[in-house]
């Protein structure tokens, strides 16, 4: 009987030892696996940091483009966690002034810099390089209660310079006196509209000058007799008039991208990045993403603007070629 108990205890001891050994082996495997996983994670992190350029970019300028610029920056930072991009508005003139003073990396502008502005920037040590990052069908905005669907370029000019002052002159008998809304003079949209639609003439007496596109949209939404001009990306809850070059041409909507891309819509314009200096590192990577990536095209459309267009993309390529940088 004693011998049987002894055998039983010996067998139990062997079983327990086997269990302990198996547990130890399992722990060793788990620790080894965890170590391998940590090592793999470190390698992946190292690869990410090596392939994604690091740095900070300050981007400033156009209020028309501020939503577009912020959305582009946010989507790019999602793909490159090493990037830190700051985008602020204030108007194209604000961005261009900051570029002239050599204070920023990118000026966003809804108008082209003048030769004098570029010269002033270069004299301060900046090197503005022009890239076109999208297109805008600049919209002539009216209230939803306004029954007029389209105007010619000359009629639009006559309203904004004050030659036409009442909607009855354009066929809306109950419209009353026209209230004109404009952007302020530091706006690239102001400059573009004044030069290309108003031929540089003064705005009508009593015109209201607003700090941004959103302010004009809100004013037009609230006043039945109001009219203003804003980027197509800001048309929400109000009308955008169809526009004809003159009475002999068709009225064209700004809501179709092909009308803008093919130059059929009369108030279409490019949207600019002015990059300070030859792009490299983070600036080059971000610029390529903005100009080439399909996600950037989605951002343009989601914010109400249009793709770059073949002619403008060729212009961007020529700029890279001039710099000796492979596209």
Domain presence at residue 172: yes
pLDDT the model gives residue 219? 97
Q: Are 166 and 176 in contact (CB under 8 A)?
A: yes
Please report the sign of the dihedral spanned by the C-alpha atoms of residue 60, residue 65, residue 68, residue 72: negative
157 and 203, same domain (yes or no): yes
162 and 222, same domain (yes or no): yes
149 and 215, same domain (yes or no): yes
Domain end position, chosen among 245, 261, 277:
261
CATH code assigned at 209:
3.40.190.10
The residue written with tokens 């392939």 in the block is 51
Per run of 10 residues, the mean pLDDT along the chain (length 327 residues) is: 38 39 44 44 44 95 97 98 97 97 98 97 97 97 98 98 98 96 96 97 98 95 98 94 97 96 95 97 97 97 95 95 89
181 and 223, same domain (yes or no): yes
CA atoms of 146 and 50, how far apart (whole Å): 57
Q: Are 173 and 265 in contact (CB under 8 A)?
A: no
143 and 223, same domain (yes or no): yes
241 and 98, same domain (yes or no): no
Residue 59 pairs in a beta bridge with 87, 106
pLDDT the model gives residue 50? 58
Long-range contacts of 201-206 (CB under 8 A, 24+ apart): 201/157, 201/161, 202/161, 203/160, 203/161, 203/162, 204/159, 204/160, 204/161, 204/162, 204/165, 204/180, 205/162, 206/179, 206/180
Task: Give the list of residues 6+ apart from residue 183 with CB closer than 8 angstroms, or none.
Answer: 63, 91, 189, 190, 193, 209, 210, 211, 212, 213, 216, 229
pTM of the model: 0.82
102 and 158, same domain (yes or no): no
The two tokens of residue 24 are: 């130890």
Domain presence at residue 37: no
**55-61/83-88 β-pairing:** parallel
The two tokens of residue 87 are: 């985008």
Domain presence at residue 132: yes
Nearest to 84 by CA among 76, 92, 95: 76
Domain presence at residue 255: yes
104 and 186, same domain (yes or no): no
In the chain, the number of structural domains is: 2
pLDDT the model gives residue 327? 77
The two tokens of residue 148 are: 């007029």
147 and 207, same domain (yes or no): yes
Domain presence at residue 77: yes
191 and 295, same domain (yes or no): no
Domain end position, chosen among 227, 261, 295:
261
**106-109/55-61 β-pairing:** parallel
152 and 88, same domain (yes or no): no
Domain presence at residue 73: yes
Domain end position, chosen among 218, 236, 261:
261
Q: Are 230 and 217 in contact (CB under 8 A)?
A: yes
Domain presence at residue 40: no
Domain presence at residue 41: no
Domain that holds residue 98: 55-136+269-323
Nearest to 99 by CA among 274, 285, 246, 323: 274
83 and 122, same domain (yes or no): yes
């Amino acid at each position: 009987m004693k011998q049987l108990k002894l055998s039983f205890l010996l067998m139990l001891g062997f079983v327990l030892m086997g269990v302990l050994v198996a547990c130890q082996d399992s722990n060793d495997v788990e620790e080894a696996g965890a170590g391998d996983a940590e090592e793999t994670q470190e390698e992946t992190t190292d690869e990410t940091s090596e392939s994604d350029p690091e740095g900070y970019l300050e981007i400033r300028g156009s209020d028309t483009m501020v939503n577009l610029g912020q959305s582009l920056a946010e989507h790019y930072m999602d793909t490159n966690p090493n990037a830190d991009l700051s985008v602020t508005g204030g108007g194209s003139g604000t961005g261009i002034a900051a570029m002239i003073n050599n204070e920023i990396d990118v000026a966003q502008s809804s108008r082209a810099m003048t030769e004098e502005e570029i010269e002033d920037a270069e004299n301060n040590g900046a090197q503005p390089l022009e890239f076109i990052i999208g297109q805008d069908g600049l919209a002539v905005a009216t209230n939803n209660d306004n029954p007029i669907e389209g105007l010619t370029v000359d009629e639009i000019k006559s309203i904004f310079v004050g030659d036409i002052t009442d909607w009855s002159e354009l066929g809306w008998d109950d419209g009353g006196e026209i209230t004109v809304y404009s952007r302020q003079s530091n706006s690239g949209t102001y400059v573009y509209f004044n030069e290309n639609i108003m031929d540089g003439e003064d705005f009508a007496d009593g015109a209201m000058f607003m700090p941004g596109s959103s302010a004009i949209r809100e004013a037009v939404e609230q006043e039945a007799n109001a009219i203003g001009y804003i980027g197509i990306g800001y048309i929400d809850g109000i009308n955008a008039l169809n526009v004809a070059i003159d009475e002999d041409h068709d009225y064209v909507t700004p809501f179709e991208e092909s009308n803008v891309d093919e130059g059929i819509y009369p108030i279409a314009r490019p949207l600019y990045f002015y990059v300070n200096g030859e792009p490299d590192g983070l600036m080059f990577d971000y610029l390529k993403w903005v100009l080439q990536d399909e996600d950037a095209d989605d951002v343009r459309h989601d914010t109400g603007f249009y793709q770059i267009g073949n002619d403008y993309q060729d212009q961007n390529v020529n700029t890279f070629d001039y710099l000796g940088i492979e596209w």
